Amino acid sequence: MADLKVGDKAPDFSIVNDADTVVSLKELAGQKVILYFYPKDNTHGCSVEAQQFNEAYETLKQAGYVVLGVSRDTVKRHVNFKAKYDLQFDLLADTEETLCNAYGVMKEKKLYGKVSIGIERSTFVIDEKGILTHIYRGVKAKEHVGQLLKDLGL
In a domain, 122, yes or no: yes
In a domain, 62, yes or no: yes
> Which one of the listed residues 46, 68, 87, 148 is annotated catalytic?
46
In a domain, 107, yes or no: yes
| pLDDT < 50 regions, the chain | 1
In a domain, 1, yes or no: no
Number of structural domains the chain divides into:
1
pLDDT tens, 84-125? 999 999 999 999 999 999 999 999 888 788 888 999 999 999
In a domain, 4, yes or no: no
Which string of b and e fits 39-76 if b means at least 16 CB within 10 Å? bebeeebbbbbbebbbebbeebeeeebbbbbbbbbebe
In a domain, 9, yes or no: no
Q: How far apart are CA 58 and CA 71, in angstroms?
A: 22
pTM comes to 0.95
Write out the residue range of the structural domain in which residue 38 sits.
Answer: 14-151
In a domain, 35, yes or no: yes
Q: How far apart are CA 124 and CA 135, in angstroms?
A: 5
Strand partners of residue 66: 33
The CB density around residue 150, as the number of other CB atoms within 10 Å, is 9
Half-sphere exposure of 106 (CA within 13 A, CB side): 14
46 included as an active-site residue: yes
Q: How far apart are CA 103 and CA 36, in angstroms?
A: 10
